[in-house]
Structure 1
Amino acid sequence: MTTARLVILYAFFAVIATLANLGVQRVVLLGGKGGLWLMAAIATGTLAGLVIKYILDKRWIFFDQSTGVAVHGRKFSLYTAMGLVTTAIFWGAEATAWAIWQTDLAREIGAVLGLSVGYVVKFKLDRKFVFPDARMKPA
C-alpha cells in the first residue's frame, strides 16, 4: 500500500469513527437531558467509535489476520491504551491553545493540530505495540 493511500484510508476511518461516536451520542441524548445523560452519551459514543476504528484499522490498515477472543481482548486493550495516550496529546493542544489565546478559533486550531499529531502518534504506537507483525499490505 502506498503511503498516500494509507494516509487517506486512515483519515477516512477516523472520520467514520468520529461520525459513529457523535451519532451514538445523539441517540443516547434522545433519552434525556442532564449531566448523567451527557456522561452516558460520551461514554457510549466513545466506545462505539473505538470499536469501529479498531475493526477497520485491524483489517484494512494493519491487515491483521489474528483470531480468537483472547487475542482480540489483548489487542483491543492495547489499542485502547494507545488511544488514551494520544487523547492526552489532543486535549493538551486544545487546552493550551485556549489558555494562551482564549478564543474559539484558537481552541479549534489547537484541537485540529492536537488530533493530527495524536493520530500520527497513535498509528506509530499501534504499529509497534498493538500490531507488531503488521505487513502493511494485503496478503
Structure 2
Amino acid sequence: MSASRLVIFYSLFAGLSILANIGFQKVSLLVYSGAFSVPLSVVVGTGVGLVVKFMLDKIWIFRYRHRDLSHGIKSFMLYTVMGLATTAIFWGFEFGADAIYHSEPARFMGGVTGLVIGYIVKYRLDKEFVFA
C-alpha cells in the first residue's frame, strides 16, 4: 500500500474507532447513570474501540494473518499491551477536559483529541512490535 493510501485508510479507521468509542460511551451513559457512570462509560468505549481498531488494522493496514487461534489471541494481547500507553494519553485528555470544563461535550472532545494523538503513537508501536 502506498504511503498516501496508508494515511487515508489509517485515518479513516481511526475515525471509525473513535466513533465506536465515543458512541458506546454515550450509550453506556444512557443505560447507566449511577455511581462511577463516567469512568465505566470510558472503559466500555475503550474496549469497543480497541476491538474495532484491532480488526481493521490487522486486516486492512497490516494485512496480518494469524497462524492459529492461539497466535491470534497472543497478537490481540500484545496489541492491547501496546495500547496501554496510548490509552493513558487518551484518558488523560478525556478526564483532564472533564476536570477543567465539567461538561460532557468537553470530555468527549478531550477524548477525541487524546485518541488522535494516541493512534499516531499506536501505529508506530503496532508496526514495530505487534504486526512485524
What TM-score comes out, normalization by structure 2 length? 0.75
- Separation in structure 2 between the aligned mates of residue 120 and residue 87 of structure 1, nearest angstrom: 12
Q: Deviations over 1:48-92 (max 9, x none)?
A: 000000000000000002153311211111111111122344566
Following TM superposition, the consecutive aligned residue runs of length 4 or more in structure 1 with deviations greater than 2 angstroms are 34-40, 86-92, 114-121
Q: Unaligned stretches of 5+ in structure 2?
A: 102-108
SS in 2 for 1:35: coil
Residues 1:8 and 2:13 are matched in the alignment: no
Would the aligned equivalents of 1:31 and 1:37 in 2 still touch at CA under 8 Å? no
Distance between the aligned counterparts of 2:86 and 2:9, measured in 1?
19
Cα separation, 1, equivalents of 2:89 and 2:30: 31
Once the two structures are superposed, residues 79-131 of structure 1 have per-residue CA deviations (whole angstroms, 9 ceiling, x without a partner) of 11111122344566x59x98xxx89xxxx79x84x655533321111011101
What code does the residue aligned with 2:51 have? V
Contact 1:17–1:49 (CA<8 Å) still a contact in 2? yes
The answer for unaligned runs of 5 or more in structure 1 is 133-139
> Superposition RMSD on alpha carbons, in Å?
2.9
> 2:27 corresponds to which letter in structure 1?
V
Size of the alignment, in residue pairs? 123
Which has the larger Rg?
A: 1
* Counterpart AA for 1:87: T
Between Structure 1 and Structure 2, the one with more helix by share is: 2
Percent identity between the aligned chains? 45
Q: Which amino acid aligns with 1:34?
A: G
How far residue 10 of structure 1 moved from its aligned partner, in angstroms, is 0.6
TM-score by length of structure 1 reads 0.72
> CA–CA distance in 1 between the matches of 2:34 and 2:2?
46
What amino acid does structure 1 have at the position aligned with 2:44? Answer: T
1:23 — aligned with what? 23
CA shift in 2, pair 1:6/1:86, >3 Å = same
